[in-house]
Every structure is written in structure tokens, then in C-alpha cells.
Amino acid sequence: MTDSDTPLRVLVWGENRHEQLEEHVAALYPAGMHGAIAAGIAEQAQVPIEVATATLDDPEHGLTEEVLAATDVLTWWGHKAHREVSDEVVDRVQQHVLAGMGLVVLHSGHFSKIFKRLMGTTCSLRWRNDAERELVWTVAPDHPIAAGVPHPIVIEAQEMYGEFFDVPVPDETVFLSTFAGGEVFRSGLVYRRGRGKIFYFSPGDQEYPVYHHRDVRRVIANAVDWARPDVSQRSLPGLVRVGEQQDWTAHASLPEPAR
């Protein structure tokens, strides 16, 4: 487990396309959405933390083996360029999640290759973009991700996401959102895959300043703290003959993903 005095190493990954192509998005997020998310995590963190950023156009999308090995929790926002994410990089991220790296998937990241891979479903949903008010209700008040969060979080303008959301039954639902049109959406879900902890949080469309919202920032900061690895040395367990003693250190290096 990460020592409480050791900074939590967070990598904020952003597609960074809307900010480059659309003036109104650039005006809302002059440092990019990834920059706003990173600033919010640093602002709201309740633990020592180091936050870095990476984007789609970086070499290997900024997600090299060396970078991932030095990352405790990865956050992911993507929308219009999911298909441009390399399958090789997706394989690499998946292996690190299974070995213990935390993953926080945000808003339209529900349709990312990595989230669909880890969920094993289409991850499709209903949507409507009419700048409606979203109320984010806490339905698991004792969960660490909900600590210090008002009930409800009020987001004055946001894209509507609605059910049915085609994801596996979560380990726990932390937040449920309601919208002016009467729709509901399971907006904060937690999962475990292998040794990795995953949190999906839906608020945060590029059309609106949601990642400047103090309460949304608090949720994301709580989530990266919750998703930190439970083991000090990430590894994938190997195949062990019955009667043999498991040597965890023998599996410190992640194997190449199956092709």
C-alpha cells in the first residue's frame, strides 16, 4: 500500500482535441480540460500528491511503459478521437490496471477503448445536450469518494446522460444523477478489475465549465485517493502448482499482453 507520507502519483490523460479545434471550448479551458482536471485534483487533494498530464498527441499518447510504471492512478477523458488511441497502448494500460494501478474514467470516457475493454460491454447510454441542470445525488454516503460532497451537487448546465447505461453491475453505486427531462443516470460507479480499482464519474462535458466546479473537483480528488494501489509493488499473479509457495516478487515485471 502507498505510504501516507509518499506523494500519490496521478497522471491526468486528456484527448485535447476540442480545446484545439473549438474556440468556445478553448475559452472555457485555456489550459486544456486535462489542465483543469489536474488543477482541481491538486486543489482538492487531502493527501500529498504529484499530478502530471499527458495527451493523445504525445508520443505513445504519453502512456509509455516507464510512465505507467511510475503512475499510481490514471484519470481518462476522451470523446471525439477514441479510435485514434493505439490498441498497443490500451493493452499496456489494461495490464497496469489489472496489476494494481487505479483508473478514474470521466464523462465521455465511458466509450473509450480502455473502459469498454475493462467492462466487457458496449458502455452505450442515452444522451441529450440541452444545457440542462444536473443534480448529482449521493447514494452511498459512507463511501470515501463521497466524503465532503454536498447532497446533491448542483450543476447548472450539463449534457444529459440517461439510462440504460450498458455496463456491468457495479461493486457499488456512489452517485445517481437526475435531469430536468426526468431522466436518471448512475453517474458514479466503482469496480475492481484484477488488483486495480476503477471509478466512473459522468459529469464533465466539454461544452460546459464543469471541471471548474468545486464539488466536481472534490469528487475526482477523492476518487484518485480511493483508487490508489493496495500493493507497494504492482504485479500480475502467475500460474502456481498446488503445494508450491507463491513468490510474488517473481512477477514484478508485467508480461506482454496476449495477442
pLDDT digits (tens, 9 = 90+) for 208-251: 999 999 999 999 999 999 999 987 767 777 766 776 555 544 44
Confidence band, pLDDT 50/70/90 cuts, at residue 4: low
Examine residue 88 and state whether it is found in any structural domain, yes or no: yes
Residue 85 lies in a domain: yes
Number of domains making up the chain: 1
Whether 118 is in a domain gets the answer yes
Judge whether 56 lies within some domain: yes
Distance CA 67, CA 141 (A): 34
**Which are the contacts of 101, defined by CB distance < 8 A and separation ≥ 6?**
68, 71, 72, 73, 74, 196, 229, 234
For residue 49, give the CATH number of its domain: 3.40.50.880
> Would you say residue 134 lies in a domain?
no
Cell of 47: 493527501
Distance spanning both ends of the chain, measured CA to CA: 31
- 206 within some domain: yes
Q: pLDDT at position 258, please?
A: 41
pLDDT at 3 over 80: no
Residue 51 lies in a domain: yes
Instruction: Tell me, yes or no, whether 160 lies in a domain.
Output: no
Reported confidence tier of residue 155, pLDDT bands at 50, 70, 90: very high
Alpha-carbon distances of 67 from 24, 50, 251, rounded to whole Å? 32, 13, 19
Q: How confident is the model at residue 12 (pLDDT cuts 50, 70, 90)?
A: very high
The pTM for the full model equals 0.90
Range of the domain at 68: 8-122+187-234
What pLDDT sits at residue 257?
44
What is the DSSP-derived secondary structure letter of residue 132? E
Q: Is the pLDDT of residue 22 over 70?
A: yes
